[in-house]
Structure 1
Amino acid sequence: MSISSRRKALKEFYKLQEQTQQQLENAQLTHEEPAEEPELTLENVDDFIKNSDFKKLLETENEIIEQLNSNQAEIKSIIYNNYYELIKINDVLMDLKSWNSEDDGVGENLQKIRSKIQSLRTQDFQLLPEPVEVRGEKISKSINKLLLDNKIDKKTADAIDDSLPELSGESLLLQMNELKNK
């Protein structure tokens, strides 16, 4: 059900347009009459009924009914406007919900990355048996693995000490020294 059809259904239910036209007509009729009488309250209702003629009682009843209808129409209008705003907010939230559920496979990709990280952590990276001239990419992966571990064993620390004199590159030296200090 679209917003416009909801709005139309609400208008039909509340009959807002008809009531506002009736109110305007009634207001024009009542404004033509002078209203210099004391205000009618609960305390003076009995006196008013005793002292007024039938025509005046009917006029007063019509005024009170008109005020009640006006108040009811205003309440219906407020409810209608709030309901319309609620519908708009609901549509926005539904759009956000559908946008959130369409994560374009981000969740799956994150899970794949997590599983690869776990498999890398379980692998045994050995720097010792290989010469320092091994491809830089393999050494970089091994260094990253060692940096992620909390401790390194004695054998790895000795291998780092042996390879430091042969290394060139300031960042590599810093990383190796950081590993050695763990």
Structure 2
Amino acid sequence: MMLAPQEDWTRDIKSYDLSIDLEALTGTARIVLADADSEGASFEIGDLTITSVSDESGPLLFEAVPGTAPNPQQLNIGVPNVTGDTTLTIEYSFVAHENFDGWMASSGLSFLWPYFCGNMFPCKSDTTDGASFTLDFTGLPQDLTAVFPTSIPADSPSYMPAIAIGDYTK
């Protein structure tokens, strides 16, 4: 039985594993939630379009609803209450931004500080709530160099993932 989407901002995020295609403007976020006595999880999603949400058992019900400024939307998910951590897989698309509030395609860089992670991946921008990150970017220009960390192993705020693409020398 699938659970109805429920709002729950208290769920602790342990880690994000992000695979982002900058050419197609699509992404997959694998988010590990800590064990909790809850059947919901909520994330900021800016202007993302969510195409699917699942866990280890299969598809989950979700809803995108109006958020609060500066994030126009939030994602609520029905998450089965299981013993141990839960890994959510969220497939989505996003758009480029040019006002230092997401992926800035024309400049070749991301800018997520302090509250704009939801314009690039589902997140919680609470700067006191840290998580580890792994990052994989595809759809990169062949003639330019992309600079980004493949992992951020320490608990870090959600604005830490970043990429810059340019005519850099290694």
TM class by shorter-chain length? Answer: under 0.3
- Point out the structure with the larger strand share: 2
When normalised by structure 2's length, the TM-score is 0.18
When normalised by structure 1's length, the TM-score is 0.17
Max radius of gyration: which structure?
1
Q: Which has the higher contact order (CA 8 A, sep 6+)?
A: 2
